[in-house]
């Protein structure tokens, strides 16, 4: 059996979550260290460690894991599913846009900032909310079954945090619009600003 990959970062699991999501989609055992490097209580190595390279068979990317921009547009027009925007509320509403040419969100998307998956204060600060709390959160956003949900963010990284949170909550596995806002905003496709109602 393959050794599981335990990923961590110092950003609430935002970047490490993308790695975990990708490995799981490809069938590799992977988990996120809840709370990141700050939660680690064991000794830390200060030098880079290496392992000898090994042959790994190529695995085709599962077709149902990713959603294209055209599929998102179809989803909007048919109202077939829930589109979650994992970016901050300010970026979602179109008040600021630090990277892309246009500000706002994909029409019909619901704001689901990935940081809201984490406890904000107290002894659990920076750790995932409980599965029950996450389930309540996503149900309040309109997600009853993650198979109907597509998550996006700025570039397809922090959206994976929402995907992992839905899975942790027992809602199943959602899909990723990997091009995310960066791809959408570089086109003349419609955008929305303000808040969408669930």
Is 1 a residue whose pLDDT tops 60? no
Q: Please report the pLDDT score of residue 196 as a whole number.
A: 83
Q: pTM here? A: 0.94
Segment 15-68, tens digit of pLDDT: 999 999 999 999 999 999 999 999 999 999 999 988 888 888 888 888 889 999
Segment 115-154, tens digit of pLDDT: 999 999 999 999 999 999 999 999 999 999 999 999 999 9
In a domain, residue 131? The reply is yes
In a domain, residue 84? The reply is yes
DSSP per position, the chain: -PPPEEE--SSTTHHHHHHHHHHHHTT--EEE-TTGGGG--S----S------------PPPTTTB--HHHHHHHHHHT-SEEEE-S-HHHHHTS--SSSSS-SB-TT-EE--GGGGB--SSTTTTSBPPHHHHHHHHHHTT-SSGGGEEEE-SSSSTHHHHHHHHHHTTS---EE-TTHHHHHHTSS---B-S----
Candidates 102, 106, 44; CA nearest to 71 is: 106
CA atoms of 174 and 86, how far apart (whole Å): 13
What's the number of domains the chain is made of?
1
In a domain, residue 50? The reply is no
Contacts of 98 (CB under 8 A, 6+ apart): 91
For residue 153, indicate whether it is catalytic.
Answer: yes
Active site residue: 153, 157, 163, 171, which one? 153
Is 159 a residue whose pLDDT tops 60? yes
In a domain, residue 125? The reply is yes
In a domain, residue 25? The reply is no
CATH (domain of 142): 3.40.250.10
Q: Please report the pLDDT score of residue 93 as a whole number.
A: 98
Q: Which residue has the higher pLDDT, 63 or 11?
A: 11
Domain range enclosing 171: 69-185
In a domain, residue 148? The reply is yes
In a domain, residue 196? The reply is no
Mean pLDDT of 97-112: 97
In a domain, residue 31? The reply is no
Structure tokens, 184: 């959408």
Average pLDDT, the chain: 95
């Amino acid at each position: 059996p393959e050794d599981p990959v335990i990923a961590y970062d110092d950003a609430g699991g935002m970047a490490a979550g993308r790695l975990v999501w990708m490995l799981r989609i490809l069938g590799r055992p992977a988990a996120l260290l809840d709370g990141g490097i700050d939660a680690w209580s064991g000794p830390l190595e200060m030098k880079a460690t290496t392992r000898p390279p090994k042959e790994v068979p190529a695995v085709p990317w599962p077709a149902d894991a990713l959603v294209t921009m055209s599929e998102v547009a179809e989803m909007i027009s048919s109202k077939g599913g829930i589109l979650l925007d994992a970016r901050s509320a300010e970026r979602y509403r179109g008040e600021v846009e630090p990277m892309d040419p246009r500000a706002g969100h994909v029409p019909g998307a619901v704001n689901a900032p990935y940081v809201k998956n984490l406890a904000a204060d107290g002894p659990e600060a920076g750790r995932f909310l409980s599965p029950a709390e996450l389930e309540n959160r996503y149900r309040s956003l309109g997600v009853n079954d993650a198979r109907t949900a597509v998550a996006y963010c700025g570039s397809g990284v922090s959206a994976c945090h929402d995907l992992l949170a839905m899975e942790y909550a027992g809602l199943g596995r959602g899909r990723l619009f990997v091009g995310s806002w960066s791809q959408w905003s570089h086109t003349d496709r419609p955008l929305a600003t303000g808040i969408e109602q669930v």
